[in-house]
Amino acid sequence: MALDVEKIRKDFPILKTQMNGKQLVYLDSAATSQKPKQVINAISRYYKTYNANIHRAIYKISEEATEGYIDSKEKLAKFIHAKKGLEIIYVRNTTEAINLVSLSWGNDNIKQGDHILISKMEHHSNIVPWQMLAKKKGAMLDYIELTPSMHIDMEDYKRKLQSRPKIVAFTHASNVLGTINDAKLMTKLAHDAGAVVLVDGAQSVPHIPVNVQEIDCDFFALSSHKMLGPSGIGALYAKEAMLDAMNPLFGGGDMIRSVDLQQSTWNELPWKFEAGTQNIEGAIGLRAAVKYLKKLGMENVHEHEKTLTRYALQRLSEIDYVKVHGPGINDVEKRLGVISFTIQGVHPHDAAAVLDSEGVAIRSGHHCAMPLVRNIIGQPAVSRMSFYIYNREEEIDKAIDAVSKAKKMFSK
């Protein structure tokens, strides 16, 4: 079923904004999505009518806040098909979720000489924590190569698995290339090799249907702000058995069962990983975002983005001075609405500035993926446009027109 984009756009107040005197064309949803009024209103209602701390009191508004916070976890668990809400740990973002695994599970399980395996298309969030852990433990950090078409090199992956890594961590979908990885197959191969698996789902959960039980990963990380929700909250999904065996990362209130002068015992799941007052309003907003996306249907979301991506790739392919980095138009079924490109003779930052002057918001830089952009793509930076449920083909046309303007300006 096609999305009613015009109806959807009415839910996003910011889309009425002008930027540099032009109607805003927002093509940077891979960095952060815009927020519908349903999310904004849910957070506002919390502050206006039942702002209170959770798990702390038995008065009415505290109970309502606690119920909303817990229900948020249940709704998110169902959205990604986790077995139970207790398998959802709220953190600040995907970065913190991956760090939690590295610092808790990794600290207890990675030993000197062990192998950690990740891919060369990872965001820094899924590189730096493993570098830090490997250095601390004397472990070896290995990288899976990419094919010329910017997919995971599965033959290289199978070879690297022969080193029997303790953990394999990879992105479900690249924030630079748009490539969607076969997380289910990669997880099975890793498990067959005896490895634990972490999947970075920051880019996938907002855009495609995700079923963590079907993937069978041990850990899955995501961020609220990329899926219509507020910033400052994200989630780590982990299998219950993994969480039971892990030590909490932070100590303090709410994560304890009892505290004596010399020792403490931990609370039950998921609370043993959530010390102190949490981002309650963030959870309330995320619940509203999940409800919004569920109503649209994630299959419909993905189909809409594929249509936009196919159109944009076709338009860009007609321009001989533009090079797209990532899977091409024949691979639209296996990619997100994320298109990185370079304009011959124009620095990506200059291109972004020209598009900004035309009211078009795109991203330029290394996109927190320096090894990929600089070593694999071979550029110091790239321009990136990314689409979501509120984008239209005519907005892509405006972006293409601005690309042409940038080329003319810097060719003089």
* Active site members: 368
Find, among 226, 236, 237, the residue nearest to 337 by Cα: 226
The rounded distance, in Å, linking the Cα atoms of 212 and 184 is 9
The rounded distance, in Å, linking the Cα atoms of 345 and 324 is 15
- Asked if residue 216 lies in contact with residue 191, where contact means CB atoms within 8 angstroms, the answer is yes
**Contacts for 69-75: CB closer than 8 Å, 24+ residues apart:** 69/278, 69/280, 69/283, 69/284, 71/287, 72/283, 72/284, 72/286, 72/287, 72/290, 73/270, 73/283, 75/287, 75/290, 75/291
Identity (one letter) of the amino acid at 331?
Answer: D
- Asked if residue 186 lies in contact with residue 157, where contact means CB atoms within 8 angstroms, the answer is yes
Find, among 383, 370, 381, 260, the residue nearest to 324 by Cα: 383
The alpha-helical segments, DSSP class H, found in 102-246 are 107-109, 128-137, 154-161, 183-192, 212-215, 240-245
Identity (one letter) of the amino acid at 137?
Answer: K
The rounded distance, in Å, linking the Cα atoms of 377 and 4 is 36
